[in-house]
Structure 1
Amino acid sequence: MNARSARANYRGRRRRESPRSRYLTILSTALVASAAVALSTAAALPEPHMDDLSMETSSSYDDISTRSGDRASRSDGHGTAGTANQPAPDVWILPLRSYTVTSFFGERWGRLHPGVDLGAAEGTPFTAVAAGRVTLCRWNGGYGNNIMIDHGDGLVTVYGHASKLLCHEGEQVHAGDKLALVGNTGHSFGSHLHFEVRKDGKPVEPLAFMRRHGVDIQHHSEAIYS
């Protein structure tokens, strides 16, 4: 065998692949093909929407914080549905803006005078001192045209001697809502508002009670007429 034949025979042996090399080649080809199929499949699928993901996530949690946020957004002035169902704040105010204290709580003519009299011109409107429900709004003996408001927790305020009634029984009122006009009806001497506070059916001294609730009836009157 000459040198040329020997070289040709040698190159032929190098081109023959061993069984192990053939196996690795087939395996590599299969992996590349699988990767290509996976990429093409992923590209064909629609992308997920963030809205759908957020809805799924929120449904697995307690929604108390969400409802609290909704209430806050409704009560910030952008809506009225939330604020309409909110309980009225515990606010107490004067029943009249201009008046003179003409008679105090205590014994008078041998009997208990269970309230304070606030002198004012006939026809002057007076208002509820706090939120509550009107339980009486009609003529009531010596009280004349009389209004009573139940504020809950055993508290009732009483307004007597009105010339004209502006509310009705069963009505829910808030502090500052007009109830009636000052008058001189019933057992009365001169135009004034008779104002009482009752706790569990018993009259309490109204000036001290109102002061505890941030309202100084006597001081306000003295400031006006000093």
Structure 2
Amino acid sequence: MRQRLSSEPDRYRGRRRVPTPPRSRYAAVVTTALVGAGIVAIGAGALPDAKSVSPAVLDELKAASTVNQDTADRADAADRATRDNDRTKAGDSAEPDVWLLPLQDYEFHSPYGMRWGKLHTGVDLVAPEGTPYRAIHGGTVTKAGWFGGYGYTVIVEHPDGSEAIYGHSSALSVREGQQVKVGDQLGLVGNTGHSYGSHLHLELHVKGEPLDPVPWLKDRGVDIQVQIEAHYSDVAAS
């Protein structure tokens, strides 16, 4: 073999390798290639006389090529369907575990606990009136309307049986019976009902009883506590 001189251009430099076909299609690709090569050889006069070849043989070769191509197409379609199904299942299984903040820019006031001699059964998140608030978790809207001292309120029942109450809204974006996903807009922050100013009142109930939303949400990866109002005795006395 003659050694290539350094002055000669490298004919193979920069050439890309042809990717190996997937195993699911390897047999079909090889068979199709062989059948195609046979047809080309016949058409190019590789046989002594192409006209002397039986038409039935040519029909069989063409039919075999079509069958193998159809098999390869079906394999591709099956692979795509499997991948799409896996992605859908992954998304469906992840969503029920997601919890989010109802607002992105707010001040945390009036935590859960005694206030002015009464139990404050939720937390207050101060934000400008008209600020959109969103579902902290997916579920079913069981209340969307006026709710006494809570003003315009949305209540969402979650799949685990817990409930979230969003009070003092200026407007509502959902209706009763509607299915909502985590992060869906439920309404706008307001000052309706027994409210001291524009804010979102958020409560969490488990088995019908209110509980402190701060540790509940922290256990689910959400830190709703930004700023805590202190010295409630001074506030109550003023």
TM over 0.5: yes
Measured after TM superposition, the shift of residue 86 of structure 1 is 4.1
**Cα distance change of structure 1 residues 44 and 98 upon mapping to structure 2, 3 Å threshold:** closer
- Post-superposition CA distance 1:15-35 (Å, at most 9, x none): xxxxxxxxxxxxxxxxxxxxx
CA contact (8 A) 1:88 1:131 kept: no
CA contact (8 A) 1:122 1:181 kept: yes
Measured after TM superposition, the shift of residue 108 of structure 1 is 2.2
Fraction of identical pairs, as percent: 44
* Residue 195 in structure 1 maps to residue 202 in structure 2: yes
Amino acid at match of 2:64: H
* Residue 139 in structure 1 maps to residue 153 in structure 2: no
Amino acid at match of 1:156: E
Alignment of 1:48-63 (within 5 A): 49=64, 52=67
CA contact (8 A) 1:133 1:172 kept: yes
Match of 1:206 in 2: 213
Give ranges in structure 1 of 5+ residues lacking alignment. Answer: 1-39, 76-81
Give ranges in structure 2 of 5+ residues lacking alignment. Answer: 1-53, 229-238
Identify, as 1 or 2, the structure richer in helix: 1
Match of 1:159 in 2: 166
Query: Matched residues in 2 for 1:130 and 1:94: separation?
Result: 9
Amino acid at match of 1:153: D
Query: Matched residues in 2 for 1:105 and 1:54: separation?
Result: 67
- Post-superposition CA distance 1:59-95 (Å, at most 9, x none): 9xxxx988533424xx5xxxxxx69x94661221111
Report the TM-score, using the length of structure 1 for normalisation: 0.63
Query: Matched residues in 2 for 1:51 and 1:209: separation?
Result: 62
Does the residue aligned with 1:203 lie in a helix, a strand or coil?
Answer: strand
**Cα distance change of structure 1 residues 210 and 67 upon mapping to structure 2, 3 Å threshold:** same
Query: Matched residues in 2 for 1:87 and 1:169: separation?
Result: 25
* Residue 69 in structure 1 maps to residue 83 in structure 2: yes
Query: Matched residues in 2 for 1:70 and 1:102: separation?
Result: 45
Amino acid at match of 1:49: A
Amino acid at match of 2:82: S
Does the residue aligned with 2:225 lie in a helix, a strand or coil?
Answer: helix
RMSD over aligned Cα atoms: 3.3
Select 1:170's aligned residue among 161, 177, 181. 177
**Cα distance change of structure 1 residues 54 and 66 upon mapping to structure 2, 3 Å threshold:** farther
